[in-house]
Structure 1
Amino acid sequence: MTAQLAPRIVRPRWLTLPLMIGFGLILFWLLATVAAPWMTSYAPLDMVGRRLQPPSWDHLLGTDALGRDVLSRTLHGARHSIPIAVTVVFFAVSIGALLGALAGFIGGIVDTIIMRLVDVTLSFPPMLLAMAVAASLGPGLENAAIAMIIVWWPIYARLMRAQVLEVREREHVEAAVASGATQTRVLTHHVLPLCWTPVLISATMDLGQVILLAASLSFIGLGATPPTPEWGSMISDGASQFYSWWVALGPGLAILTIVLGFNFIGDGLHDYFDPRSK
């Protein structure tokens, strides 16, 4: 009697190892956003140990210059960085996609005005423009979010405009126009549904880039204000403690893993939607 072979698990081609790693990393940080108070024994603002204590069993990532647990502050930092990134990308996509769609579909003077505004905004280096806007508004995560929205919306406007210009020339769109459909219906039912894939992939990758830019603004004092446990400000505190390397280790690894996670997911989505990968 022959032994039965175990069924072979067939993994979809687009479900790559980097994509699974990305989902795992982002799932961990989403869990930290919700369950941070239960994942550590210490509150992020409490002085629970000796100042600048090296990593130990009591404090796995040591303590900072005020005796606060670095691991607790790192986990609670996700509750600030991730919501800020989601908020910035949501509003940047909403504003940029709307204006880009109008510019590409209507054309004429509307296209000229919107794209000249996009060109002016994109002519500045993103970090420099974000610093200028954040400095004019004052420090704080809310003002940093506004500065990053101003930096990011032109990217989605240009991307959506390019997609609309390509899709509106297709035969099914011309057939809808010939059948008497209104411009609003043509745009919302026949053009926009085919334009969102590149925007979705770009938005996924930009989540990590927004977290990195928010940390950069906090590092130079234009983002989160003390004693908020934000990753950029924590790295700034660690930079002033040259021999206490553990102060910046936790938030540095947090930024590294979450940026990698979003980039892996973005690459996986690109492979999934790319017909050449099927």
Structure 2
Amino acid sequence: MIVSSVSKRRLSSSLTWIAKLSLPAKIGGVVILFWIITALTVSHWGLPDPMQMAGRRLLAPNLKNWLGTDALGRDVLSRTLYGAVYSVPIALLVVAAGVAIGAVLGAIAGYVGGVVDGAIMRLVDVTVSFPPILLAMTVAATLGPGIVNAALAMVIVWWPVYARLMRAQVLEVKEREHVEAAIAGGAGHLRILRVHILPLCWTPILINATMDFGQVVLLAASLSFIGLGATPPSPEWGSMISEGASRFYNWWIALGPGIAILSLVLGFSFLGDGLRDLLDPRSK
């Protein structure tokens, strides 16, 4: 009974929290949920095999192939939906890894200070001194084409953002009275950081991470577009757009993946804006 009561309260709290989101944020959440469900279940939808011919080459959109076929006769709609299997997990893994690495190093830098802070921040400065797309291209080209290497390249690009953000939050929170009281009470450094500082630092991290999901999807597609991400015949959105770019008059080849990327980027942007308004009232 107690467990059931706690679960009901948590569910009620979650529903209330969702209800407070703005309409664009809710729409963005629905779009994101659609692509997550697609990535998890598309293999059970009975769609044509994205690697095999589903009709004649370069068929325009028709009743059988809603988005037509590509140069090898593969169904464009099927390949677009299967592309979520690549793009959505990669975005989740890259942002999660970037947050984990950046938050840990930023928290250490902000709390310890001194030489440790200087060393970590100089590493951050060196990393962010390169344009993100150029740095990602350089790392991916060094490691070689492939979706895993592209993901590693994007993690290297993204972690400094969260390191700076977390450091700034820790520097601000550790000067508050409750932290000074914990220090005076003899609390250990790890407990002070874990209990008294970090719980107050996650709001900007969460908002920034939500907005970054869309940017990661866009960067992953960009790397695949130039041949440094997922390799053909993988149904990845960037490589599909690259194929479509070489066949300008067969516009439907790039239409599906283009709409998919646009919807996912806008979905995360809308949701991030909604979370910012909800969690940080000062932003209004």
Asked if the contact 1:32/1:39 (under 8 Å) is kept, the reply is no
Note the 1:86-105 alignment, pairs <5 A: 86-105=92-111
User: Which amino acid is the alignment partner of residue 50 of structure 1?
Assistant: R
Structure 1 residue 73 corresponds to structure 2 residue 79:
yes
Structure 1 residue 84 corresponds to structure 2 residue 74:
no
Structure 1 residue 110 corresponds to structure 2 residue 116:
yes
Corresponding residue for 2:35? 29
Note the 1:178-197 alignment, pairs <5 A: 178-197=184-203
Corresponding residue for 1:172? 178
Change (3 A) 1:276 1:129: closer
Q: Measure, in 2, the Cα distance between the counterparts of 1:240 and 1:146.
A: 28
Corresponding residue for 1:203? 209
Q: Measure, in 1, the Cα distance between the counterparts of 2:98 and 2:18.
A: 32
Q: Measure, in 2, the Cα distance between the counterparts of 1:90 and 1:137.
A: 21
Q: Measure, in 1, the Cα distance between the counterparts of 2:146 and 2:46.
A: 26
Corresponding pairs, count: 269
Corresponding residue for 1:122? 128
Corresponding residue for 1:5? none
Corresponding residue for 1:235? 241
Does the residue aligned with 2:83 lie in a helix, a strand or coil?
helix
Does the residue aligned with 2:234 lie in a helix, a strand or coil?
coil
Cα deviation code 1:68-125 (max 9, x no counterpart): 0000000000000000011111111000000000000000000000000000000000
Corresponding residue for 1:247? 253
User: Which amino acid is the alignment partner of residue 194 of structure 2?
Assistant: T
Corresponding residue for 2:7? none
Q: Measure, in 2, the Cα distance between the counterparts of 1:149 and 1:13.
A: 33
Q: Measure, in 2, the Cα distance between the counterparts of 1:90 and 1:27.
A: 18
Sequence identity (%): 67
Asked if the contact 1:49/1:63 (under 8 Å) is kept, the reply is yes
2:148 corresponds to which of 127, 142, 146: 142
Does the residue aligned with 2:115 lie in a helix, a strand or coil?
helix
Q: Measure, in 2, the Cα distance between the counterparts of 1:86 and 1:195.
A: 21
Unaligned runs of 5+ in 2: 1-15
Cα deviation code 1:249-277 (max 9, x no counterpart): 00000000000001111111111112348
Corresponding residue for 2:21? 15
Corresponding residue for 1:221? 227
Q: Measure, in 2, the Cα distance between the counterparts of 1:90 and 1:58.
A: 39
User: Which amino acid is the alignment partner of residue 92 of structure 1?
Assistant: G
Does the residue aligned with 1:111 lie in a helix, a strand or coil?
helix
Asked if the contact 1:148/1:210 (under 8 Å) is kept, the reply is yes
User: Which amino acid is the alignment partner of residue 146 of structure 1?
Assistant: L
User: Which amino acid is the alignment partner of residue 90 of structure 2?
Assistant: I
Corresponding residue for 2:59? 53
1:64 corresponds to which of 64, 70, 86: 70
Q: Measure, in 2, the Cα distance between the counterparts of 1:197 and 1:161.
A: 13
Cα deviation code 1:156-186 (max 9, x no counterpart): 0000000000000000000000111111110
Quote the offset at 1:39 in angstroms. 3.5
Change (3 A) 1:40 1:235: farther
Quote the offset at 1:28 in angstroms. 1.0
Quote the offset at 1:12 in angstroms. 8.0
2:277 corresponds to which of 253, 271, 276: 271
Alignment RMSD (CA, Å):
1.6
Asked if the contact 2:276/2:283 (under 8 Å) is kept, the reply is no
Change (3 A) 1:185 1:161: same
User: Which amino acid is the alignment partner of residue 57 of structure 1?
Assistant: L
Asked if the contact 2:21/2:275 (under 8 Å) is kept, the reply is no
Q: Measure, in 1, the Cα distance between the counterparts of 2:33 and 2:237.
A: 18
Q: Measure, in 2, the Cα distance between the counterparts of 1:175 and 1:92.
A: 32
* TM-score, normalising length: structure 2: 0.92
User: Which amino acid is the alignment partner of residue 213 of structure 1?
Assistant: L
Q: Measure, in 2, the Cα distance between the counterparts of 1:36 and 1:276.
A: 41
Quote the offset at 1:35 in angstroms. 1.9
Instruction: List 4+ stretches of structure 1 deviating above 4 A.
Output: 10-13
